[in-house]
Amino acid sequence: MTMASMVLCAGFLAVYERMKIDWLGVNALEVVKEHGQSWVRRLDAANILIRVFAWIPTRIFLVVLWAVKKNDLLAFLAFSLYEDAFKTTAFLRKGKFGRFGRKDVGIFFASLVISNLYWTVRWTVIIGIIKRIYHWVMT
């Protein structure tokens, strides 16, 4: 699965770099950094149904936003856990296109390992919990 993830992310990154178009919205990240918290406040002020369904996604958004504002290491960890190696590398290049340096390659592979490890552990735990609940209900 990690190899498939690597091939897909590298392919997306190659297309993204070749097109030289910011279709990920990397440059829009500055606007999000500036206005993100006010957007969440508006959702929190909405009706109860919107607040219930938007609560978890907005909290994840606020954690990622906090990490992006702090420094590149926290942004790297947040993007690696929440996104994939393609998006992590593209965002940490900060809108630059062109040749990949050692840092970019290191970010890509480190993010690939961290994100795949995280998702493997996460789904192993979730499936284990579901199995236990199923066995508990069925006995």
Q: What is the pLDDT of residues 67-125, one digit of tens each?
A: 888 888 998 999 899 889 999 998 888 777 888 889 999 999 999 999 999 999 999 99
Q: Is it the case that residue 42 has pLDDT exceeding 80? A: no
Q: What is the pLDDT of residues 52-73, one digit of tens each?
A: 777 888 888 888 888 888 888 9
In this prediction, residue 127 carries a pLDDT of 97
Q: Is it the case that residue 43 has pLDDT exceeding 80? A: no
Can you give the residue ranges of every domain in the chain?
A: 2-138
In this prediction, residue 86 carries a pLDDT of 92
Nearest to 8 by CA among 114, 85, 77, 111: 85
**CA distance readout (Å), 23 to 15, 16, 132:** 11, 8, 43
Classify residue 46 by its DSSP letter. Answer: S
Q: Is it the case that residue 41 has pLDDT exceeding 80? A: no
Q: Is it the case that residue 10 has pLDDT exceeding 90? A: yes
Place of tokens 């994840």: 60
Q: Is it the case that residue 31 has pLDDT exceeding 90? A: no
For residue 123, give the amino acid letter: W
In this prediction, residue 38 carries a pLDDT of 79
In this prediction, residue 109 carries a pLDDT of 96
| pTM of structure | 0.75
Distance CA 92, CA 88 (A): 6
- The tokens describing 40, both together, are 């969440």
In this prediction, residue 93 carries a pLDDT of 86
Quote helix, strand, coil % in the chain, to nearest 5.
80, 0, 20
Contacts of 8 (CB under 8 A, 6+ apart): 86
Distance CA 42, CA 115 (A): 31
